[in-house]
Homo-oligomer: A and B are copies of this chain.
């Protein structure tokens, strides 16, 4: 079937750059990244939810002029939903289309529980930046990391918190489908820190990973 790309980081008419790409054809999508942000891209061919539900999405990071301040480690997590079709079949269009969504899995970077089964090593005391994007297609995220506090949060281009130690902190960032955030935190000590969406019905469906402080 045909596909296309919709880069949220770009400003272009749908019939200019987001055009149909037929099987075997090629297309060069040209745009100037005028705005900093953490942006979704996805196949935009109708019905887009079907293409998104089959995994045709990703994240584009556009840093502001001069870049972001130095941190020790950066990670990028894309939260998405799987609506399973039958064995060997693509995702279920009927399920992904349902108005009362019931994803079979809710995952970070495509695979349920992958960072729980294989925790991500981080250094105790180090400064961490996480780019997190919720591609849906249907459900919101409430991104949280157990045992840590976010002191710096930029959501949809808005710097909400600025690392004011001793000031206010944040426990969760709400992201509707197609929203993204940049969060920063310090790993307080050695040990285990689970990251989840705090919509806990989805934690048992794969939306959990672990940062392992070493």
Contact = CB atoms under 8 A, between A and B. Distances in A.
Interface of A: 6, 8-16, 18, 34-37, 39-40, 44, 47-49, 52, 64-65, 96-104, 106, 136-142, 144, 146-149, 151, 153-154, 156-158, 160-161, 165-180, 186, 188-194, 198-205, 213
Interface of A: prevailing SS: loop
Nearest to A106: B99
A167 B189 CA distance: 35
Nearest to A52: B200
A130 to B, nearest CB: 16
A144 to B, nearest CB: 6
B201 A169 contact: no
Chain B CB count within 10 A is highest, among A49, A157, A213, for: A157
B138 A97 contact: no
B176 A140 contact: yes
A122 to B, nearest CB: 11
A199 B176 contact: yes
Contacts of A153: 156, 158
Given A138-B200, A168-B158, A169-B36, A213 B102 contact: no
A201 B138 contact: yes
